[in-house]
Amino acid sequence: MHLFTTITTKDITVRYISLPTGLLFLALAGIANATTYRWIDANGVTVYSQTPPPSGQAKAIKAPPPPSTSPDEARRRLERQQQFLRDRAEDRELRRKKKDKAEKARSLRRQNCESARANLKNLQIDVRRLYKDPKGNYRRLSGEERQKMIETAQKQIEKYCNE
């Protein structure tokens, strides 16, 4: 079977598509432009078909157009999209880590604030209280030492309690 039939005369050459080839092209064109129908049958099942239902109650669905890019361009586009998604995931992870770090800093700041306030309260209320020195010995603070510790606690309150 030949795709084309050639007829040549003295001045003109005409090419005709052979009958079987022409029919094949027409059939393929019909398939390419075929309409798909969607409807819900009596059992509630969604049906897709190239022929409409007997009741005629169907929605015609157009087939998506063929890709307008070459396979290489489609591959590059897919790679760009994948890279974009990886970048977004990385950004989300960085934001999450930054948020966690900030929350830990806030929590530590609150703990330091509460500790500084408790220290100041203890220093102001109980003048005769025993304090443990770095060597592990207990002793009472002199007025000057106590005042220094009060000032330190007040500085810590300013530092940690003012957000």
Helical residues (DSSP H) of the chain, grouped into ranges: 19-32, 71-125, 143-161
Helix axes 71-125, 143-161, angle to 10 degrees: 150
Q: Which tens digits make up the pLDDT trace of 125-136?
A: 877 778 788 898
Going by the DSSP 8-state scheme, the letter that residue 141 receives in this structure is P
The residue with greater pLDDT, 130 or 114, is 114
Q: Which tens digits make up the pLDDT trace of 33-80?
A: 567 888 888 888 888 888 888 777 888 887 777 767 788 888 899 999
For the cut 70, the answer to whether the pLDDT of residue 162 exceeds it is yes
The residue with greater pLDDT, 132 or 22, is 132
The string of DSSP letters for 94-119 reads HHHHHHHHHHHHHHHHHHHHHHHHHH
Q: Given this model, what pLDDT does residue 97 score? A: 97
Model confidence, pTM: 0.46
Q: Given this model, what pLDDT does residue 107 score? A: 95
Q: Given this model, what pLDDT does residue 6 score? A: 52
For the cut 60, the answer to whether the pLDDT of residue 25 exceeds it is no
d(CA 13, CA 10): 8
Q: Given this model, what pLDDT does residue 1 score? A: 47
Closest CA to 36 of 15, 52, 53, 23: 52
The residue with greater pLDDT, 131 or 13, is 131
Q: Which whole number is the average pLDDT over 100-120?
A: 94
pLDDT tier, 113 (very low <50, low <70, confident <90, very high otherwise)? very high
| 37, containing H or E segment | strand 36-40
The residue with greater pLDDT, 137 or 18, is 137
